[in-house]
Structure 1
Amino acid sequence: MNQKSGATAPVQDGRASRWEEHNNQRRRALVQDAVRAIRKHGPHVGMDEIAAQAKTSKTVLYRHFGDKAGLYRAVVESVQDFIVRKLPLDEADNLPPHELILRLADAYLAVVERDRNLYLFVSSRPTSDSPDPVTGVTTRIGNEVATVLRAWLRREGLDEEPANIWGHGAVGFIWAVSDRWIITNFRRPRAEVVGYVDQLFAPAFAAQQRS
């Protein structure tokens, strides 16, 4: 009796996927330890201090991230996600434009105020080929704000074309204000700075009229 020949399906070895997940978890834990070290030691923290915080060696850090620039990129990605989660984007569709910009400014400045060392670390690129963290996070937020403004303009029967410029312009403005606020060592209270932002944007949105 002839036996049918055929390719045997490979048996799935779960060890590789478990090892990959273990590595991912380890990387995430090391990033969190790096964040703690940055908060503790400041934006110019060294790999020795990060390794000490993680209770490991620099060799382990290099194995997971390659070099300090690789660790920097991982921290930037984590911090960008953290900043976006702190912003009122989930409720943005239900906010009038000036209220969205007001809350956005307050939430962004609150992150800067609470995590100055982390913000300064992320804002400083260790090498010329490191990603620009400011462009990354402001582009991400600006896209979402532009989408909300486009929907508002549509509901109001207004031209939707300015949405992209307004969205990215407002986010860039808030970033510039935050950067200046740090340089002045938070000389003015956050509520006052946010009030000045609203003072500029609220009349601009209120002035929009159906043509």
Structure 2
Amino acid sequence: MVNNSQTGLPGGPAADAAGTPAGSVDGRASRWQSHREERRRELIKSARKAVHALGSDASMEEIAAAAGTSKSVFYRYFGDKAGLQQAVGEVVLSQMQRRIQEAAQGAQTPREGLFAMVSAYLQMAETSPNVYTFVTRYTPGDAGAANSTIATAGALGHFFAAISDMIARPMHSHLGDSAGREAAIGYWPNAAIGLVRNAGEQWLASPPSPAKPDQEAMARQITDWLCLGIAPALRSGPNTAAPAPTPAPTSAPTLSEPKKEST
């Protein structure tokens, strides 16, 4: 007579070579995977706090020390610094994308939408320039810097592609499918991303000074450049008053330690 419990045939529980039921093995594997995922989330949060305090060029050893663990733990979970940047970047950029999308949804016109999106982007980057730089730039000369760029390009590319699509949708609705407007809809959103990012990052890196605009003024200026270019400024001269700004979003979560997130 054949014992089904030993052969794993239908009607009897499957077992591994040691005679342990497969369900027990699956349960342990599931619990271990959950533990690893929770530990990974904790390390990402700790890394964000460390980078916020120490700077975007903090080493793995410094980040691990601030997290109260060893760098070997970070290497075990993320492989190298590029892997950590990618993991933090996925969380940070996803959060920024949601915040920008929320800001744009309340806009009544395409221009208001642009202003809301630029404001949200600058607000979140300003909450922690160190964290923003950590997930978008890489220190030249670091070991594996080239690989870092490749490793994190996915999260960063997805972020800017999503923002470009957010810009393109209202433009398409506003301009329609009229002949001759394909270039505006097809190319302008990506060009806008380049302007916003480069102007925003230069503003973010500039030291405080009387000449540096605050966040709302910078968002208004970038929006004017996007909608009107610099021709009005060239025509009007230095003494012409700027138009009244659209109200900026009042608050935004921080990049260093968001109030609530699924990291």
Contact kept? 1:33, 1:54, Cα under 8 Å: yes
What residue identity is the alignment partner of 2:58? V
Q: Which residue is 2:133 aligned to?
A: 120
Alpha-carbon distance in structure 2 between the residues aligned to 1:2 and 1:135: 58
Q: Which residue is 2:224 aligned to?
A: 199
Inter-CA distance 93–189: structure 2 relative to 1 (3 Å threshold): closer
Q: Deviations over 1:25-68 (max 9, x none)?
A: 11111011000000111111122221122221112111111122
Alignment TM-score, normalising by the size of structure 1? 0.81
Alpha-carbon distance in structure 2 between the residues aligned to 1:2 and 1:104: 69
Deviation (angstroms), 1:194: 1.5
Structure 2: gaps (5+ residues) = 15-21, 230-263
Deviation (angstroms), 1:167: 2.1
Deviation (angstroms), 1:89: 4.4
Q: Deviations over 1:75-106 (max 9, x none)?
A: 11111112112213475385421111111111
What residue identity is the alignment partner of 2:164? G
Q: CA RMSD in A?
A: 2.9
Alignment TM-score, normalising by the size of structure 2? 0.67
Alpha-carbon distance in structure 2 between the residues aligned to 1:3 and 1:188: 80
Q: Does 1:71 align with 2:84?
A: yes
Structure 1: gaps (5+ residues) = 205-211
Larger helix proportion, structure 1 or 2?
A: 1
Aligned identity (percent) is 30
Inter-CA distance 113–3: structure 2 relative to 1 (3 Å threshold): closer
Deviation (angstroms), 1:3: 11
Q: Which residue is 1:207 aligned to?
A: none
Q: Which residue is 2:237 aligned to?
A: none
Q: Does 1:35 align with 2:48?
A: yes
Q: Which residue is 1:190 aligned to?
A: 215
Alpha-carbon distance in structure 1 between the residues aligned to 2:76 and 2:156: 27
Greater relative CO (CA pairs within 8 A, separation 6+): 2
Contact kept? 1:88, 1:100, Cα under 8 Å: no
Aligned residues, how many? 202
Q: Does 1:152 align with 2:174?
A: yes
Which sits farther off after the overlay, 138-147 or 83-92?
Answer: 83-92
Alpha-carbon distance in structure 2 between the residues aligned to 1:50 and 1:105: 31
Inter-CA distance 123–94: structure 2 relative to 1 (3 Å threshold): closer
